[in-house]
A and B are shown apart, each in its own frame.
Chain A
Amino acid sequence: MGALMLDGNAAAGVLQEIFAVEMTTAVGTCDSCGAAGEVGRVQLYRGAGLILRCPSCEAVLMKIVTSGTRAWVDLRGLRTLQLNA
């Protein structure tokens, strides 16, 4: 378990694998504080899975655990996600 923080950028591959589109330029709105910004900009922590946190209030935006051919995605912390063509 590394407590080391990276950027949402580093999750680009996993996110594109799940959502099938480029996600680091998608704009998410934090359900906790309402701050909006690109997914590439969020705080990323890697442990057993990926935890994406809001860079403004540090609330959890998204949790992702992958295992073999399955992925579990928790999006509770995101109010909206705006995908750009």
Chain B
Amino acid sequence: MAGTAVLGRLNWRVADVVEVRPETSRTKTIAFDVPDWPGHQAGQHVDVRLTAEDGYQAERSYSIASASDASTLELTVERLDDGEVSPYLTEELRPGDAIELRGPVGGYFVWDSSAAGNVFLVAGGSGVVPLMAMARQRNAEGSGIPTRLLYSARALEDVIYRDELAQLTQEDGFDVVYTLTRAQPSGWQGYDRRVDRDLLAEVAPAPPELAVSFVCGPTPFVEAVAGALVELGHEPMRIKTERFGPTGG
């Protein structure tokens, strides 16, 4: 964990919204100013709590999108139409509003600046968020750790952070491989199917060269990817997963 600041009981903090930025038709990035934020590691998340006028509370966990050195804390949230929290965060929040959050939490699914070998990031849909924090962290540190992101999205317009990812690939040792599972633009040269064992065999670094894989996405996606990586000879202990589901709404 990053120092002693995370020790001790977690307290809810008031976070002020400073910016709301659309990323895709279903996702927005919300930037918060959090007084006395203790800092975080790429891959950690926060719990967000909303309280209704009648006292009813709903709590959800969201991955942090920003690198640890960023001036604001950013969350990228996908709107789930039947969700309790995400429609409010993506549609109602405005700069100047405040919400309650606590964190950062989690120490397991975090970027390791000392990784010896390649790092393989595998994203399903908005599962790219904590992996983007890692890519940003890597860039901020000027890290030379060879890192590949495999990003599965339904269509090109559903790809979050597309321009910034293109910029990051200008850095040495970072590249992105896309697969678009439902719709592809004409002339698309990339993959056009769900991530399966054959695709991973082509894209993933070979087991001896791979220090760690981080896989984040909906539960069935993570199951399929982690299972196929093990079949390809990757050590289960070196595959870190973060599943999310409708309970994340």
Q: Which residues of A contact B (CB under 8 A)?
A: 2, 4-10, 12-13, 16-17, 20-22, 24-25, 37-41, 46
**Any A CB within 8 A of the CB of B79:** no
Partner of A40, one of B47, B102, B106, B219: B106
Report yes or no: A17 in contact with B243, Cβ–Cβ below 8 A.
no
- Give chain B residues whose Cβ lies under 8 Å from the Cβ of A39: 108
Partner of A6, one of B9, B108, B245: B245
Partner of A13, one of B102, B237, B240, B241: B102
25 A-B pairs in the complex with CB atoms less than 8 angstroms apart: A2-B245, A2-B246, A4-B219, A6-B219, A6-B243, A6-B245, A6-B247, A7-B242, A10-B242, A12-B105, A12-B107, A12-B108, A13-B46, A13-B61, A13-B103, A13-B105, A20-B8, A22-B7, A22-B105, A22-B106, A22-B107, A40-B240, A41-B108, A41-B240, A41-B241
**Any A CB within 8 A of the CB of B6:** yes
In addition to A12-B108, A38-B108, A39-B108, 16 A-B residue pairs with Cβ atoms within 8 Å of each other are: A2-B246, A2-B247, A6-B243, A6-B244, A6-B247, A9-B45, A9-B108, A12-B61, A12-B106, A13-B10, A13-B45, A16-B105, A21-B7, A24-B107, A40-B108, A40-B109
> Interface residue count for B (Cβ, 8 Å)?
28
How far, in angstroms, from A41 to B108 measured CA to CA in the complex?
8
- Give chain A residues whose Cβ lies under 8 Å from the Cβ of B106: 9, 12, 22, 24, 40
Residue of A nearest to B7 (CB): A21
**Any A CB within 8 A of the CB of B1:** yes
Interface of A is mostly: mixed
Report yes or no: B247 in contact with A46, Cβ–Cβ below 8 A.
yes
How far, in angstroms, from A39 to B246 measured CA to CA in the complex?
22
How far, in angstroms, from A39 to B106 measured CA to CA in the complex?
10
Report yes or no: B244 in contact with A8, Cβ–Cβ below 8 A.
no
Smallest CB separation, B6 vs chain A (Å): 6
Report yes or no: B247 in contact with A25, Cβ–Cβ below 8 A.
no
